[in-house]
Amino acid sequence: MSDSAGIVALRPFLKWAGGKRQLLPRILTLVPPRVRTYVEPFLGGGALFFALAARRRFERAVLGDFNGELISCYEAVRDDVEGVIAKLAGLRNTPDVYYEIRRQNPERLKPAARAARLIYLNRCGYNGLYRVNRGGLFNVPFGRYARPKICDPERLRAASQALAGVELVQGDFARVMARRRLGAGDFVYLDPPYVPISKTASFTGYAGAFSMDDQERLAELLRRLAAKRVPAVLSNSDCADTRRLYDGLAMESLPARRAINSVAARRGPVAELLVQTRAVPPGAACYGAAP
């Protein structure tokens, strides 16, 4: 990671619904220049984590996600990247191989093979979606890409270096945040599954549904962080519900295009809201036109 080639390679190695590539430049300006502990409890593809790691902006990091396959994958890339690369190198992009890998029970695989399975399904499956059925089995169909990059050793090795020493936690965001003594020198980024912008529009690509009660719990968490003066940023869809949840905190509306949506027709521009815990002058809490 220390040379410029390393920084070029330091990017998410998974395509993940809600990846923050488009909002990154703005979010990066809201992160303090030097962070003691960086906490990201909705990791997904980790776009902000990798961007901050490339810039050496934090001393230590705690990353979490509800999705156990995802966290196991990061653990294997952190602890045995050469094993993961070796497993991926042998996999071909054909429907037969894809459905055979999809049928495997990940819990019976060794860590490197389990991580390679997720990366392979992510590169070769339809739209990079992560979706499981009621029984917990991955059910995304083959993606029919001409030449997907199944194994990118340079990117995986750079990711492994960035993840060295990083604490990875599987579970609900409250578990990731529990008993952390965070203060003004730390930074938290919260990127939950978004509040649906209409009753019919909901993201189905996640391991667990994120209800309005969960959104309320998260808003309480952000308010507690604000009370303790912990710098934090949250992103969500810009809609009346979100503005109500975060009323009184600093909000900023940004136009954005989501890269992955399970319903192709809804891939249009969706405004996103960034909420911060930093203090803002009275009357200046929200900028950007109301939705």
* Smallest separation (angstroms) from ligand SAM to the CB of 44: 3
Position 125 contacts ligand SAM (CB under 6 A): no
Pick one of 208, 220, 244, 248: the residue that binds ligand SAM (CB under 6 A): 208
Which residues are CB-contacts of 122 (< 8 A; sequence separation ≥ 6)?
A: 14, 15, 128, 130
* Residues 42-77 as b or e (16 or more Cβ within 10 Å = b): bbbbbbbbbbbbbeebbeebbbbbbbebbbbbbbbb
Pick one of 20, 102, 123, 258: the residue that binds ligand SAM (CB under 6 A): 20
Helix or strand or coil: residue 208? coil
Adjacency order of strands within the sheet including 167-170: 167-170, 58-65, 35-40, 187-190, 232-237, 269-276, 250-257, 286-287
Pick one of 44, 125, 143, 231: the residue that binds ligand SAM (CB under 6 A): 44
Pick one of 193, 232, 236, 261: the residue that binds ligand SAM (CB under 6 A): 193
Burial (CB count within 10 angstroms: exposed 0-12, middle 13-18, buried 19+), residue 159 = buried
Position 19 contacts ligand SAM (CB under 6 A): yes
Size of the site for ligand SAM (CB under 6 A): 23
Position 62 contacts ligand SAM (CB under 6 A): no
* Smallest separation (angstroms) from ligand SAM to the CB of 245: 15
**∠ CA 9-12-15 to the nearest 5 degrees?**
130
| Closer CB to ligand SAM, 89 or 174, in the complex | 174
Interacting residues with ligand SAM between 216 and 275 (CB under 6 A)? none
Burial (CB count within 10 angstroms: exposed 0-12, middle 13-18, buried 19+), residue 226 = buried
Burial (CB count within 10 angstroms: exposed 0-12, middle 13-18, buried 19+), residue 218 = buried
Pick one of 13, 173, 187, 246: the residue that binds ligand SAM (CB under 6 A): 173
Question: Hey, what amino acid is at 94?
Answer: T
Pick one of 9, 46, 177, 242: the residue that binds ligand SAM (CB under 6 A): 46
Position 69 contacts ligand SAM (CB under 6 A): no
* Smallest separation (angstroms) from ligand SAM to the CB of 261: 12
| Closer CB to ligand SAM, 30 or 97, in the complex | 30
Which residues are CB-contacts of 129 (< 8 A; sequence separation ≥ 6)?
A: 17, 140, 205, 260, 262
Work out the number of other CB atoms within 10 angstroms of the CB of residue 90.
Answer: 10
Binding mask 133-172 for ligand SAM (x = CB under 6 A): ---------------------------------------x
Position 128 contacts ligand SAM (CB under 6 A): no
Q: Which stretch binds ligand SAM (CB under 6 A): 42-50, 134-142, 237-245, 275-283?
A: 42-50
Question: Which residues of the chain form contacts with ligand SAM (CB under 6 A)?
Answer: 16, 18-20, 41-42, 44-47, 65-67, 172-173, 191-193, 206-208, 210, 214
